[in-house]
């Protein structure tokens, strides 16, 4: 069975060689790249390849059929650990942290106890930290001990879309594996051939995905993602052209939602970024089709705001994402974003 990840041939080649030749195997890896491009899928396939019991398979590991491969695919293998915000710890008074955006020191301490023991049944115990930039300062400091002195037969995989937020002492102890966006044609082909999408739908989703195969598959399987995207686009157009009152109302609504559902806010900011990227391309004279199909509105924004205005908006969106990642006040950070957008109608600001 080939690795389940689509695209990323160079990254997968490195991981394949490491899985097949212990001399090439590093104790820790850092998977770097945008959200939903296949990093977690690659980590799961890597864990399968390391622990597949049919190493003599003609196609090479993983076979996808043996007990370890099946258990890992189902996230049920006792020796493959995923550490994420809200995960378990051993503290009697807080065994889980529902709604947390952080990976806490108590989770790292639990992990240290887990990896100190020999694997239960696998050749390698694999620990995936996703996202690694969610480690608090205290958790990252504690995790350094495991990175510096990893137990035998333990492989660590750290996943991040924000490499710059990780401490240098963490990054320097990992082998960096880069994952870029998946080519549009590869996404379109995969949607048609693997997930059975009609050609027209596959083409549209591949265009909207901006290299994020995971997003395209999710949108194919749940049409609410596209409906939500259209609502965000309506808000982008309305807020960008509105006055201070409209902008502050939107920031307040999004900021209030952040505490309950931060993922939906980041998804909304993805749409904001896509929109202003399209406006920038149009203002610069590009004939690349818009990702959303709103050609007339995009051209109107390109004429109104120009290259400088589109760049200003993109910087505002980039800045708020960074501030939210750094745990700034959501409403305040979003208010700064909407104020930093280029001016809307004359006299609004």
DSSP string spanning 38-83?
SHHHHHHHHHHHHH-S-TT-TT-S--S-SHHHHHHHTT--TTEEEE
Range in 87-96, 247-256, 279-288, 326-335 the model is least confident about: 87-96
- Nearby residues of 286 by Cβ (< 8 Å), 6 or more positions away: none
112 phi, psi to nearest 5 deg:
-60, -40
**280 or 289, which is more confident?**
280
Which residue pairs, CB below 8 angstroms and at least 24 apart, start in 182-189? Answer: 182/6, 182/7, 182/8, 182/37, 182/38, 182/209, 182/211, 182/212, 182/213, 183/7, 183/211, 184/209, 184/211, 186/6, 186/7, 186/213, 187/6, 187/211, 187/213, 187/216
Distance CA 137, CA 170 (A): 11
Distance CA 207, CA 187 (A): 9
Tokens describing residue 237: 């157009």
The single residue listed with the structure tokens 């939906």 is: 264
Assign 348 a pLDDT band (cuts: 50, 70, 90).
very low
pLDDT at 252: 96
- Structure pTM? 0.84
pLDDT at 74: 94
Kindly report the CATH number that applies to the domain delimited by 9-178: 3.40.50.300
Whether the per-residue pLDDT at 266 is higher than 80: the answer is yes
Assign 347 a pLDDT band (cuts: 50, 70, 90).
very low
Residue 231 belongs to what H/E stretch? helix 224-241
pLDDT > 70 in the chain, percent? 93
Phi-psi region of 7 (alpha: psi -120 to 50; beta: other; left: phi over 0): left
pLDDT at 1: 47
Most confident segment among 58-67, 143-152, 243-252: 243-252
Tell me the mean pLDDT in the region 277-288. 88
Whether the per-residue pLDDT at 349 is higher than 50: the answer is no
Range in 43-57, 67-81, 166-180 the model is least confident about: 43-57
Whether the per-residue pLDDT at 99 is higher than 70: the answer is no
Whether the per-residue pLDDT at 58 is higher than 80: the answer is no
Tell me the mean pLDDT in the region 112-135. 92
Tell me the mean pLDDT in the region 177-189. 94
- What average pLDDT does the structure give for the chain? 89
């Amino acid at each position: 069975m080939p690795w389940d990840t689509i695209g990323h041939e160079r990254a997968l080649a490195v991981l394949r060689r490491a899985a097949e030749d212990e001399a090439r195997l590093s104790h820790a890896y850092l998977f770097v790249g945008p959200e939903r491009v296949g990093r977690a899928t690659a980590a799961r396939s890597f864990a399968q390849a390391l622990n597949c019991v049919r190493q003599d398979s003609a196609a090479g590991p993983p076979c996808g059929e043996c007990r370890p491969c099946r258990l890992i695919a189902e996230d049920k293998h006792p020796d493959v650990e995923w550490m994420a915000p809200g995960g378990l710890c051993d503290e009697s008074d807080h065994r889980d942290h529902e709604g947390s955006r952080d990976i806490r020191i108590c989770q790292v301490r639990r992990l240290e106890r887990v990896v100190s023991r020999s694997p239960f049944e696998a050749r390698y115990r694999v620990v995936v930290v996703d996202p690694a930039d969610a480690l608090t300062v205290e958790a990252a400091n504690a995790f350094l001990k495991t990175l510096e002195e990893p137990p035998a037969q333990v492989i660590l995989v750290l996943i991040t879309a924000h490499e710059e937020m990780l401490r240098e002492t963490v990054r320097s102890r990992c082998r960096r594996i880069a994952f870029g966006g998946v080519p549009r044609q590869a996404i379109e082909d995969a949607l048609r051939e693997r997930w059975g999408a009609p050609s027209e739908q596959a083409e549209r989703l591949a265009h909207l995905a901006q290299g994020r195969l995971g997003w395209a598959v999710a949108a194919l399987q749940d049409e609410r993602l596209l409906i939500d995207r259209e609502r965000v686009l309506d808000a982008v157009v309305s807020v960008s052209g509105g006055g201070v009152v409209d902008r502050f109302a939107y920031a307040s609504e999004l900021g209030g939602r952040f505490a309950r559902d931060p993922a939906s806010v980041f998804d909304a900011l993805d749409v904001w970024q896509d929109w202003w990227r399209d406006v920038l391309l149009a203002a610069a004279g590009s004939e690349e089709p818009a990702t959303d199909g709103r050609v007339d509105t995009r051209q109107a924004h390109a004429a109104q705001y120009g290259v400088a205005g589109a760049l200003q908006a993109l910087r505002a969106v980039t800045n708020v994402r960074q501030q939210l990642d750094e745990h700034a006040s959501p409403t305040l950070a979003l208010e700064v974003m909407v104020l930093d957008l280029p001016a809307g109608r004359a006299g609004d600001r």
